Structure 1
Amino acid sequence: MIDHIFGLSIRYEPWDKKSILPLYIVSNYQFYTAYIENIRCIVIIPTEELPTLPSLKKQIQKIRVIDDVSVVLYSKTISFYRRKSLLENHIPFMTDKQVFLPFIGTLLVDEKETEKMKDKFVYSTQLLFLAYMYNHEKKVYVSDLSKYLPFSAMTLSRAVKQLEMTDLFLVYKVGVNKVIESKYSYKELFERIQRYLLTPVRHVGYMDQPLVTDHMILAGESALSEMSMLNPSRIKIYAVYEKDFDKTQLIDELIDPDVQVKVEIWAYDPQLFTHTNIADTLSIILSLKVNKDERIEKIIEDILKPL
């Protein structure tokens, strides 16, 4: 246990009333009387797994019937989701790095406790995010998303961790299954997560129209024109996964828009989240992030409105 909380001293004594409690409570905790800056409370330390929230609330109530002071749960660490539940239910708790003591009006958190995202996503995390968005459910099992994603369990685990580091999601377990849940609506989530997202486009070039393959689907302004009232560009734009295409077929120069097509080589398969001849909407938007054309910006705004 900790004996100082950011300058507040804590003194512990054995709690002498635990024999009055039901045996199932006594056997699940260690009990101490604690004085935090001369304010008396009871600290309970689980000897096994942390109880469910409903059980914890009932057990705290039984303790308070015997000794009507605040009851503080102590655990070396707690998950983000459990911490959120404790805060929402005003249940005092202490960990080695965090303290919530509403009876003295104190919420203290070690700022180094949670590592925050500072850089862009890796592409596996971006694909996990896109899979979440296209699932159209607020709470999604990671195992369900993994069915659509072409990477290993280890890569998936790292992607989940990177999503969690944005602090835009709750990540927790239901039984043995891990769940991802956004803290925001789809539209607000997409706006907030923009800083971490990458354009899928790795390379751009041109080639003759007869060389277009089944691996290529419409992208960029050509895709937008299919989805909106935007006039189609004179040259068609296609996207293709870098592993499905030999980029040596491309040239850097547009010579004849009536004969050539523009090809965007993507870091991931543009057909992953679509069943049509058009790349998925969110990836198209990300591919156009650097485009400053006001017409395109307005169309993207309109597309995002229903999210």
Structure 2
Amino acid sequence: MRTSVFGISIKYEEWNGQDSLPLYISASYDFRIACIGNKRCIVLTPTAELATLPSLKKQIKKIQELDKLPVVFDLVTISNYRRKSFLDNNISFITDKQVFLPFIGTLLMEEIEDQKPPNKFVYSTQQLFLFYMYSKKKRLYTSDAGKELPYTAMTLSRAVKQIKATGLFFVAKDGVNQFIESKYSRYELFERAKIYLSSPVREVGYIDKTQVTEDMVFAGETALAEKTMLNPNRVKTYAISEKDYDKALLAKELIDPDEDVKLELWAYKPKQFSKDKNADDLSLILSFKDTHDERIHQAIDELQERRLQGQ
């Protein structure tokens, strides 16, 4: 709850008019009386997505039929388009960086909407992105991601900022709960995000097949052949997190194709998003980012089409 706005103190009181409002209005906001300096107003904090401008104007009219006080929207952020429509229609709002309160004068401070896009996601951001892709939810709350991903709240907060900077997602709050929501279908999102995504493979070598453990999953051409029409390679490929394996134990060259397997060390656990004995589809696709083999590209296109088309 804000206690001041650009140096002007704010004190709050309860507003009891919401019970007299239609449910579609009363359920969409938290209502409070706010004293900003020596001016009183009704502050509306959205608990759901904001309605269209014509609907908002009707809602304001309904509220002011009960109480003649000015109505102010308390927002996390505001888009350039929404801000212009509010200014043009004399609708008051407050964000962390912008204020429009015509009943006590106007204060405006530019909010940087478009941060510089990142060159590449760090791997914690990439995992948050993949978690969103696999969640199959239009809106993903970061608190849900925090329960599944091995990162602190601070690391996830940085990941959300990096995701927001791409312009591919809406980032906002539902009450106190932050969420991300893609602007695109899953297929188009993945295509647009590829410039920010990296191969999870950090190191590659060979081990004796007797050294394969339960923490390893099929990866590379072995996993791709399981999921597509690609002919499997004679030497099987596995993957494991680089944190779970000493890379000094990797042989740099293949000695015996009948006794050795290829092992990829990944930046994150290849089982993180996997539902079976293979690495997950999207990480598998990313693991071939540097290949120029036409057979691989055809198999990748087949896998991506099947996994994401229509989502």
Aligned to 2:79: 83
Q: RMSD value over aligned CA atoms?
A: 3.7
Q: Which amino acid aligns with 1:244?
A: D
Give the secondary structure class of the aligned counterpart of 2:86.
Answer: coil
Unaligned runs of 5+ residues in structure 2 are 1-16, 19-32, 64-71, 101-108
- Rounded to whole Å, the distance in 1 between the matches of 2:163 and 2:40 is 30
Amino acid corresponding to residue 205 of structure 1 in structure 2: G
Decide whether aligned partners of structure 1 residues 51 and 141 sit closer, same or farther in structure 2, where only a CA change above 3 A counts: closer
Instruction: Show CA shifts across 1:17-43 (max 9, x none).
Output: xxxxxx99xx7698xxxxxxxxxxxxx
Does the residue aligned with 2:163 lie in a helix, a strand or coil? helix
Amino acid at match of 1:86: R
8 Å CA contact retained: 2:171, 2:178: yes
1:96 and 1:146 mapped to 2: Cα distance? Answer: 25
1:256 is paired with a residue whose SS is coil
Q: Distance in 2 between matches of 1:126 and 1:99?
A: 34
1:94-137 deviation per Cα after TM superposition (whole angstroms, max 9, x unaligned): 9998899xxxxxxxx96955322232111110110111111011
**AA paired with 1:201?**
V
* In structure 2, C-alpha distance between the alignment counterparts of 1:159 and 1:200, rounded to whole Å: 17
Paired amino acid for 1:265: L
SS at match of 1:230: coil
- Rounded Cα–Cα distance in structure 1 between residues aligned with 2:297 and 2:111: 38
Displacement after TM superposition at 1:275 (Å): 2.7
- Residue 141 of structure 1 and its aligned partner are, at CA, apart by 1.5
- Look up the match of 1:197: 197
1:243 counterpart letter in structure 2: K
Matching of residue 145 in structure 1 with residue 154 in structure 2: no
Query: Residue 225 of structure 1 aligns with which residue?
Result: 225
How far apart in 2 are the matches of 1:217 and 1:86?
Answer: 48
Judge conservation of contact 2:114–2:167 (CA < 8 Å) in 1.
Answer: no
Classify 1:160/1:184 alpha carbon distance in 2 versus 1 (closer, same or farther; 3 Å): same
8 Å contact from structure 2 (residues 222, 236) kept in 1? yes
User: What is the CA–CA distance in structure 2 between the aligned matches of 1:300 and 1:168, rounded to whole Å?
Assistant: 23
**Distance change in 2, residues 1:113/1:138 (3 Å):** closer
Aligned-pair CA distance for 1:139? 0.9
Give the CA deviation at 1:242. Answer: 1.0
Distance 1:261 1:165, change over 3 A: same
1:270-296 deviations in Å (ceiling 9; x for gaps):
001113110001101111011111111
Alignment of 1:71-110 (within 5 A): 79-80=76-77, 82-83=78-79, 86=82, 90-92=85-87
Change over 3 Å in CA distance of 1:59–1:224 after alignment to 2: closer
Quote the residue 1:162 is aligned against.
162
**1: CA distance, partners of 2:243 / 2:233:** 27
Query: Could you tell me whether the CA contact under 8 Å between 1:242 and 1:267 is conserved in 2?
Result: yes
Moved more, 230-239 or 243-252: 243-252
Cα distance per residue 1:52-88 (max 9 Å; x no partner): 456852376589xxxxxxxxx899xx644x4378269
Name the counterpart of 2:248: 248
Are 2:278 and 1:278 aligned?
yes
Contact 1:116 1:167 in 2 (8 A): no
Query: Residue 199 of structure 2 aligns to a residue in which SS?
Result: coil
Query: What is the TM-score of this pair, normalised by structure 1?
Result: 0.71
1:1-307 aligned at under 5 Å gives the runs 49=43, 52=46, 53=50, 56-58=56-58, 79-80=76-77, 82-83=78-79, 86=82, 90-92=85-87, 113-306=113-306, 307=308
CA distance in 1: counterparts of 2:244 and 2:81, whole angstroms: 47
Distance 1:242 1:133, change over 3 A: same
Secondary structure in structure 1 of the residue aligned to 2:79: helix
Question: Aligned partners of 1:112 and 1:286: how far apart in 2?
Answer: 32
Report the secondary structure of 1:223's partner residue.
Answer: helix
AA at the equivalent of 1:166: T
Q: State how many pairs are aligned.
A: 255
Q: 1:163 to 1:298 in 2, by over 3 A?
A: same
1:85–1:177 CA distance, 2 compared to 1 (3 A): farther
Give the direction of change, closer, same or farther, for the CA distance of 1:178–1:110 in structure 2 (3 Å limit): closer
Q: Distance in 2 between matches of 1:268 and 1:125?
A: 12
Q: TM-score, normalised by structure 2?
A: 0.70
Q: Distance in 2 between matches of 1:173 and 1:146?
A: 16
Matching residue of 1:66 = none
The range that moved more, 109-118 or 144-153, is 109-118
Aligned partners of 2:118 and 2:153: how far apart in 1? 24
Describe the SS at the equivalent of 1:119. Answer: coil
SS in 2 for 1:305: helix
SS at match of 1:130: helix
Mapped to 1, the partners of 2:96 and 2:247 lie a distance apart of 54
